[in-house]
Amino acid sequence: MDSHTVAVRRDEETLHHEAEHPPYLRHHFETVEQQREAVSFGMWLFLLTEIMFFGGLFMAYLLYRNWYYEAFVSASNTLGIGLGTTNTAILILSSFTMAMGVYSAEMRNRRGLMLSLSLTIVLGLAFLGIKTIEYHEKFVEHHVPGATFSIEDFVHPKDSRDAALAPDMAQHAQLFFFLYFAMTGMHALHMIIGISILFALLWKAYQGNYINGHTATIDNFGLYWHFVDIVWIFLFPLLYLISRHPLH
């Protein structure tokens, strides 16, 4: 056996070893498949905790919506349905772009991945921008719960189609706005965290990561992003669509 064939054999062994143990395989896992499934499972379990975390807020909302329905109707009607619907569409589109990002990573398409991540960032920022406009509106209209809250709009509504509330019921509109800010605020916090991670992912994608078969990070971030989208899918009808006035 001459040295040439020995050298060739060792190269084959190294290649085979690297195919079985790529550098991103952590030492406590036996195979890449095991690692991928474990990480994905871990991410889903984390999302379960998020379901239960938001669950508490949904419970509070359901209770007070039923106790103070009139106040919730009036308060909900002060939210801009155009902006709300637009935001819902933006977020759904961003879920699409994120899913396309996962596809690009799996197809080892670096530019496609970077484009998808960038679009997702832009859409996410657009969502937050609209939310800022909405929050500002509420502040200006004295609908922010607490010291600056005014029941004027509810006791003497400007729009003739709105029902006038008794003062004590009008005070309960604060509960609606508290839950509005708490739920959309918690949601926005998750969006901000998500967008920050997206920037990091975009940078790493630019450096050539995620397109070598190790798409787990993009996959699992996608799960997180879709979950944040799902929370909004429920928040939108609950907060914005409580008995809108019929169109004339």
**Binding residues among 190-219 for another protein as defined by CB under 8 A:** none
Spell out where the chain has E strands.
Answer: none
**Number of CB atoms found within 10 A of residue 75's CB:** 26
Least distance from C-beta 35 to another protein, angstroms?
Answer: 9
- Span near another protein by CB under 8 A; candidates 3-11, 55-63, 122-130, 191-199: 55-63
Q: Which residues contact 185 (CB under 8 A, 6 or more apart)?
A: none
Q: How far is the CB of 3 from another protein (least distance, A)?
A: 27
Cα separation, 147 vs 151, whole angstroms:
12
Separation of alpha carbons 123 and 130, rounded Å: 11
Among 14, 16, 18, 53, binds another protein (CB under 8 A): 53
128 versus 242: smaller Cβ distance to another protein: 242
Nearest distance in Å: CB 115, another protein: 13
* CA distances for 13 relative to 25, 73, 83, angstroms: 18, 70, 60
Residue placing its CB nearer to another protein in the complex, 89 or 163: 89
Rounded alpha-carbon distances, angstroms, from residue 80 to 19, 106, 137, 187, 200: 55, 39, 9, 18, 33
**x/- binding map, residues 107-136, to another protein, per CB under 8 A?**
x-----------------------------
- Kindly indicate which of the ranges 125-133, 157-165, 195-203, 222-230 contains the residues binding another protein, using the contact rule CB under 8 A: 222-230
Burial class (CB in 10 A: 0-12, 13-18, 19+), 12: exposed
Q: Which of 206, 200, 217 is nearest to 112 (CA)?
A: 206
Interface with another protein in residues 135-154 (CB under 8 A): 145-146
- Show contacts with another protein in window 65-84 (CB under 8 A): 66-69, 81
How far apart are the C-alpha atoms of 121 and 127, rounded to whole Å? 10
C-alpha 40/C-alpha 26 separation (Å) is 15
- Subset of residues 13 to 52 that bind another protein, contact rule: CB under 8 A: 20, 27-31, 33-34, 36-42, 44-52
Cβ 29 to another protein shortest distance, Å: 8
Determine if 8 is a binding residue for another protein (CB under 8 A). no
* Sole binder of another protein in the list 74, 78, 95, 217 (CB under 8 A): 95
